[in-house]
Each structure stands twice: as structure tokens, then as C-alpha cells.
């Protein structure tokens, strides 16, 4: 790798790190001394219960072909369909990590604001994505509506691109010993 490539990669990494750092504190003011609370954060007792449920449901994953049963107040047992058990497992896993969960039917039509909230972008940016054709939408009267499946597919693609970019950035940083802690420059 040429010296100019290393310095360009280092500059890109530093700019990226500053951007991420600014995102983490951009909602704070200089007078804030308390940590910011996420309004939809999952409380600790619910997180631990969700972690326990996730570990129980993990045993019924597709690899192990187990079954999940529920028992009602009268003691009657009912087997939970595998597809529902998978949804419950994924939701429990996310709740255990402290992430709020919303379940939507695939055919659900979302407003631009609801879709923007799911993607964690502004409504104006989402409308721009629709107008450029990056995200499909339908007009219902004078309003744009987006299918939940299209929003989820866009989110998955976007997240995959981000992961690939971060992996590449990590690799570039490792190539120039960007992660060598405690080493002194010579």
C-alpha cells in the first residue's frame, strides 16, 4: 500500500469516527449533565425475562426441530406453529438487547412518517427516496403509502451496505495498524 493511500484511509477513518461521535451526542446540549434516556428503551426486568424466553425458544430453532407449547390457565396445552415461534424468538432476542419491537403484517401500508420512523430517517429524506425510485410507494389520493415489506427490504439492503462499508473501513484501519493500542510512533 502506498503512503498516500494510508494517509487517505486514515483521514477517512478519522472523519468517519468524528461523524459517529457527533451522532452520539448531537441531541445533547452543553448544559446536559445526565445521560440521555431513550423513551422506548426496554426496562431491565423485561429485558431479563425476554432473554430467558429467547433462550428457551432458541432450542426450538429450525436446526433442532423442537416444538413450543403454551399452557392456558385451565392447563390445556396447545402447540405454537413454528413460524410464530420464530417470530417470538426474534422479538424476545431484540427485547433482551433493549430494542423495542413492533410487529407489522407484510401487507401493511405505512405513511411516509411511519416508514421514516422505522428507518430512523427524516420524512423529507424518505420522500426523496420515494421520488428518486429507491423506495417503492403507492399514491392513495394525494398521500404516499409504502408497503411494510418494501421498507423492511430497503432497511436490510441499507444495513448490509453499511456493514460491508464498516468491514472495509475496519480492514483498511487494520492494514495501517490503526488498532495497535499502546504502541508508540517511531
Instruction: Name the nearest CA neighbour of 47 among 112, 96, 115, 116.
Output: 96
Mark whether 71 and 116 lie in a shared domain: no
Residues 121 and 134 in one domain: yes
Only one residue has cell 416444538, namely 67
Structural domain including 79 reads: 40-101
Asked, for residue 46, whether it belongs to a domain, the answer is yes
pLDDT at 137: 96
Residues 109 and 174 in one domain: yes
Pick from 52, 84, 101: which residue ends a domain? 101
The answer as to whether 96 is a domain residue is yes
Q: What pLDDT band is residue 60 in, cutting at 50, 70 and 90?
A: low
CATH for 161: 1.10.1660.10
In-domain check, residue 34: no
Number of domains in the chain: 2
In a domain, residue 115? The reply is: yes
- pLDDT tens readout for residues 25-55: 333 333 444 433 445 578 888 889 989 888 8
Mean pLDDT (whole number) for 151-158: 93
- DSSP code string of 86-127: HHHHHHHHHHHTT-------TT-EEEHHHHHHHHTS-HHHHH
Question: Last residue of some domain: 55, 86, 101?
Answer: 101
CA–CA dist 55, 52 (Å, integer): 5
pLDDT tens for 89-139 read 888 999 999 888 878 888 899 999 999 999 999 999 999 999 999 999 999
**Same domain flag for 97 and 109:** no
Task: Quote the pLDDT of residue 85.
Answer: 86
pTM as predicted: 0.54
On whether residue 108 sits in a domain, the answer given is yes
| pLDDT at position 3 over 70 | no
Same domain, 46 and 62: yes
Amino acid at each position: 500500500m502506498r503512503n498516500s493511500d494510508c494517509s487517505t484511509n486514515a483521514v477517512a477513518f478519522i472523519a468517519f469516527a468524528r461523524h459517529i461521535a457527533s451522532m452520539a451526542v448531537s441531541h445533547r446540549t452543553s448544559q446536559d449533565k445526565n445521560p440521555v434516556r431513550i423513551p422506548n428503551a426496554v426496562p431491565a426486568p423485561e429485558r431479563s425475562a425476554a432473554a430467558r424466553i429467547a433462550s428457551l425458544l432458541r432450542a426450538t430453532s429450525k436446526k433442532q426441530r423442537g416444538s413450543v407449547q403454551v399452557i392456558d390457565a385451565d392447563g390445556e396445552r396447545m402447540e405454537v406453529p413454528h413460524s410464530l415461534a420464530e417470530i417470538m424468538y426474534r422479538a424476545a432476542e431484540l427485547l433482551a438487547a433493549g430494542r423495542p419491537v413492533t410487529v407489522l403484517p407484510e401487507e401493511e401500508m405505512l405513511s411516509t412518517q411511519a416508514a421514516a420512523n422505522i428507518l430512523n430517517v427524516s420524512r423529507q429524506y424518505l420522500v426523496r427516496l420515494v421520488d428518486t425510485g429507491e423506495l417503492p410507494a403507492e399514491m392513495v389520493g394525494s398521500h404516499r403509502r409504502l408497503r411494510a415489506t418494501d421498507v423492511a427490504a430497503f432497511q436490510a439492503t441499507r444495513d448490509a451496505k453499511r456493514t460491508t462499508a464498516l468491514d472495509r473501513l475496519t480492514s483498511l484501519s487494520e492494514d495501517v495498524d490503526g488498532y495497535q493500542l499502546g504502541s508508540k510512533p517511531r
